[in-house]
Amino acid sequence: MSDSSYTDGTAAVSAISAADPIRERIAQAVSDVRSTTPLAQSFTNFVTINLVANAQLAAGGTAAMSFLPDDIVDTAKIAGSTYINVGTLLPFYKDALADIAPKLQYLGKPWVLDPVAAGIGKTRTAILQSFKTAPPTVIRGNASEIIALDAMWELGANDGAEGETTRPAGVEAVDEVEAAVDAAKRLARYLAQHAAGGKGAVAVSGASDLVTDGETVYRLPGGSAMMTKITGAGCSLGGVTATYLAVAEPLTASIAASLLYNRASEIAERESNGPGSFQVAFLDALWNVTAEQVAQSEILIG
């Protein structure tokens, strides 16, 4: 892959070189997970909890799922990272999550938030708003969720240079992921400012995934449209991001997880005949893709 640059209508974009140092960090993260089998714990929804755990295992990590504050805190102490996904809410989550997030912050443990369905339901909104004071290290969502969370946290209003409304008019007419660029950058800067390690990242999933640390925006082309035909592709990507976050800093962890997913889903699409065999082949590919294949993926910047 050679350096190149072009304009995609919203920004000048160039491909990073095969020798870019970030590739070494990505390869290291993929390898480190496989050699050290780090524990990432999850508080996640009931629909896809099984796939989250199996994807973490297939990527090389280990998994533990918990819902009670005393379980989460005990496990957080021995885990490298935690993943919180607000997909299927139960009544006690509101108090439990308001208790858990500050404890993770106090422990200085990195965690990934998946703000599933942000904007739907007043309980979910209350939970997501509460995270502003004890924020995660990484956020992964689709464009609408990232835009909604940025609006809930009112980050746009305090961000002079990019003080536009959080959701541009006519969003449906443009690429969904591109519509979330500014929200993603604002959120990532906010996470970095509040992180124990001073670093944060936001990943936006879509036809072409986007990851940012608040300064640089990385676009990760490829993947398979079949990922939208199985439930939990996004949730389990959040979980695997937590697995990588147990061994790498937020930006590297987020890019590595998205690239692993893109390469594995491409392989699975070729080897399957529908969504049933696709999911099976996808888990196999998470296990079999090499660190080299992941790290030498096409990565656009700008």
Per rule CB under 8 A, is residue 286 in the interface with its own copies?
yes
Q: Which is nearer to its own copies, 73 or 155 (CB)?
A: 73
Return the residue of 130, 284, 296, 302 that touches its own copies, per CB under 8 A: 284
Per rule CB under 8 A, is residue 70 in the interface with its own copies?
yes
Return the residue of 28, 88, 293, 296 that touches its own copies, per CB under 8 A: 88
Per rule CB under 8 A, is residue 89 in the interface with its own copies?
yes
Identify residues 168-207 at the interface with its own copies (CB under 8 A): none
Per rule CB under 8 A, is residue 274 in the interface with its own copies?
yes
Task: Give me the least distance between CB of 265 and its own copies, in Å please.
Answer: 12
Return the residue of 29, 203, 283, 299 that touches its own copies, per CB under 8 A: 283
Identify residues 208-237 at the interface with its own copies (CB under 8 A): 228-232
Segment contacting its own copies (CB under 8 A): 17-25, 40-48, 197-205, 210-218?
40-48
Per rule CB under 8 A, is residue 46 in the interface with its own copies?
yes
Task: Give me the least distance between CB of 259 and its own copies, in Å please.
Answer: 18
HSE-CB at 147 with a 13 A cutoff on CA atoms is: 17
* Ligand-binding site membership of 205 (annotated): yes
| Contact residues: its own copies, CB under 8 A | 45-51, 53-54, 57-58, 63-68, 70-71, 74-75, 87-92, 117, 120-124, 228-232, 272-277, 279-288
Return binding residues.
65, 140, 205, 232
